[in-house]
Structure 1
Amino acid sequence: MSFQGTSTYVATSELQIAVNAAIYLQRPLLVKGEPGTGKTLLAHEIANALGKKLLTWHIKSTTLAQQGLYEYDAVSRLRDSQLGKEGVDDISHYIKKGKLWEAFTADETVVLLIDEIDKADIEFPNDLLLELDRMEFYVYELQQTIKAIHRPIVIITSNNEKELPDAFLRRCLFHYIRFPDKTTMQEIVNVHFPNIREELLNNALQLFYGLREVTGLKKKPSTSELLDWLSLLLFEQLPASVLAESDLKEQLPPHLHTLIKNEQDLNILEEWRRRRR
């Protein structure tokens, strides 16, 4: 199995090397980068490229590691026993399989995405150390060990909201998706808008990267926001000259709301423009 990107996802050579190393070494790949740089989408594209099923475990602040393994619904079992329902003696009826259980017992290798692991409690990664290392876990209620039939391809994303434990990092390969330079970004845009006029794209990228260079922005516009912005420009059939005439110091670009996402950054941009007039 080898990942080289897809027709809808431009993967740099460094990213391809990281993904293929994780597949070969059978290690989880921890992917970091700015929001909107395609970390989550990467797992989807790996699954598409390799023809594998994708299992996604979205992590929230309240998510527990145990939920990725299984959950025992003792309350439902107690209620059913009080109601005299059949099958109460079979505890397996009250075991809900988690995403790791599904991945471990799949008939073939799957891609398992653990998305935004840094949202959970700091102990969350440590609680998965053995399971991700040995690819097995024990179900006490069933007195049964669930072991991976085929080791899944594990992609873990993080937005760096909190530091991850060293013991967890040692068990992962790591790749940071750097923000694309103009050449790479042009390739990404051409994948999504193959018929975009070159002059319009060049002018749009010049404004976009100029906006990212404004000092102090809390949320710099990302790749996904650039694509939304271009989609609006193309929908309205704006001529390239509109962007060529735009100057961040004198006039804000059209549909700025797709690029700037909070009042604080808008105020910073306005102050930045005022100082340069």
Structure 2
Amino acid sequence: MSSSNFITKSSATQFKSEKEFVQHVHSAVSEVKEHHIFIFTDVSELWGRSALKAIDEVFAFRHTLDPYEHTLRLKVMPVLAHEAIQPWLNKTLANWHFGTGDLNQAEYALLFGVANAKFRFTSGPYVNWEKTPDFAIMVNEQRLPTVVAEAGWSESHPELLNDVNRIMVGGNGATNIAILFKWYRRSNNRRAADIQVYRKDRNNTPILIQEETVFPRPRPITNQTIRITRGDLFGAARLHGRAASDVLSLDLELLRDEGTRMLHIMGLVPA
């Protein structure tokens, strides 16, 4: 077993039975008093699902169950700063309709944002892979999101990138855009952050299409935006006569406002 301030990693091979493993997971999660990530390796899908069932609706957590890498990752009591992407994207959806007019009434009615919803692939190359992303944009009657967003506080970047690969390649390509919003510890109570955006290339491989610094705010101040297309947002549900190539902009200054507000509540400040 290895542990840091926010992450504990251990192997399921140390447990003699499924029951013993499930009891350990339940006990470990129940003792958490602040944000913590548990990474269990060498976990069978059966053991992983049993553990999730035991803690579901009892504790606040988000998870990734990967039967291909035999891992179960639990993000318990996510810090408030994680949540900045939720109001940012919800307000962006509203602004595209009521503010800029980029979305007409019919398009706006098709979309909705969800936080902490569980998605499980029932087909494709990663069947039975399961995750609760921090936020997702859905289109009515579609089972999987077209856009997902993940916030990292203490997770390693390779683990976040692995999730990007799984969720964009799995699900038969339903997800078009993945956004990674990553916080970094700086001196004293200051926090930095950056954002990355991924899209699939012609070979269905996720590629980095944009990377921006959120905190510290770049100088001189520019009109920083994340740019996606109407085709990215709606996928196969795009309405007739609405161009797939139309660009939709996500304002990073609005994300800074939300992030600053969350940090302030936590007693922290932007770098």
Q: Do both share a fold (TM > 0.5)?
A: no
Structure label with greater radius of gyration = 1
**Bigger fraction of residues in strand:** 2
Structure with more helix by fraction: 1
RCO comparison, higher one (Cα < 8 Å, 6+): 1
Q: TM-score normalized by structure 2?
A: 0.28
